Amino acid sequence: MRRRVVPEPGAPRGARRWWWVLPLLLAVLVAGGLWLAHRTDLWTVRAVEVEVEAPEGAAGWREQLASPKKVREQAGIGLGDRVVELDPGAAKRRLEELPGVRSAEVGRGWSRTVEVRVVLSEPVAQVERDGAWRVLDVSGRRIIDLDERAAGTPVIEPAPGLPEREYRSALRRALPALRALSGETREQVREFRVSESGLITLLPDSHVVIWGDGVDADAVREQEKSVRAVLEEQPPEPGATLDASQPGQVVVRP
């Protein structure tokens, strides 16, 4: 005797035979979208917008370091590139390899636009090198080489007797202290020197101040207040040395 199959209640006749239609439609739509992205210009880069932020003192060489053309070329992003193939992280790393660039950000904007933001390094000091002036950031990295001295950027020199082999490491230790000093103090300095103990400044009346390595910027600022207090309240004899390399004390030596 033939058995009769009774459909489940509420299930349309033949529904189970069409269960694969919806996934197929979704697959077709996704494939079509990918095709459009790769084979048409609907998802290609239409514009690359470049913004460059230059700290005080760096505006004079902004175009040399990071002109819009140079930034676009270094980022490796051009008009007509596929948006889906962009690698913002790789573009960021390439930009941060440029001398004088402290940081970079790359992202996708509206209407097929790529937005690039570059921040230039802050000039902390300059040194004379092979007849040119090399501008350095706080870590001792080269920002730019100039034919003439950069206005407003302190010149730093090795202290007498500093071995050449120790100069680079001593310079890197001294630069954070120089950066931490206030503009008022820097304007009063006659000479900035780098020694084995870090930054040394020569003030009017030939007062020598030993600042140390300046790893802790807040500590340098506190020591700066103490040095100023000594100079104003109990001025040492001309030529005296004020050792402010140890936090919490200023030792005066003839």
Q: Confidence class of residue 197 from pLDDT cuts 50, 70 and 90? A: confident
Render pLDDT for 172-185 as a digit per residue (tens, 0 to 9).
999 999 999 999 99
pTM over 0.75: yes
Q: Confidence class of residue 20 from pLDDT cuts 50, 70 and 90? A: low
Render pLDDT for 21-66 as a digit per residue (tens, 0 to 9).
677 777 767 666 666 655 555 578 899 999 999 998 898 899 999 9
Encode the chain in three state secondary structure: CCCCCCCCCCCCCCHHHHCCHHHHHHHHHHHHHHHHHHHCHHHECCEEEEEEECCCCCHHHHHHHHCHHHHHHHHCCCCCCEHHHCCHHHHHHHHCCCCCEEEEEEEECCCCEEEEEEEECCCCEEEEECCEEEEECCCCCEEEEECCCCCCCCEEEECCCCCHHHHHHHHHHHHHHHHHCCHHHHHHCCEEEEECCEEEEECHHHCEEEEECCCCHHHHHHHHHHHHHHHHHCCCCCCCEEECCCCCCCEEEC
More confident residue, 4 or 58: 58
pLDDT at residue 10 tops 60: no
Residue whose token pair is 């008022």: 184
Give the pLDDT confidence score for residue 83 in this predicted structure. 81
Give the pLDDT confidence score for residue 242 in this predicted structure. 95
φ and ψ of 192, to 5 deg: -110, 130
* Backbone φ/ψ region at 231: left (φ over 0), alpha (ψ -120 to 50), beta: alpha
Residue whose token pair is 């950031």: 137
Domain residue ranges in the chain: 44-120, 154-253
For the record, the structure tokens of 94 come out as 């390439």
Q: For 224-228, what is the mean pLDDT?
A: 94
Superfamily assignment of 44-120 in CATH? Answer: membrane protein fhac (3.10.20.310)
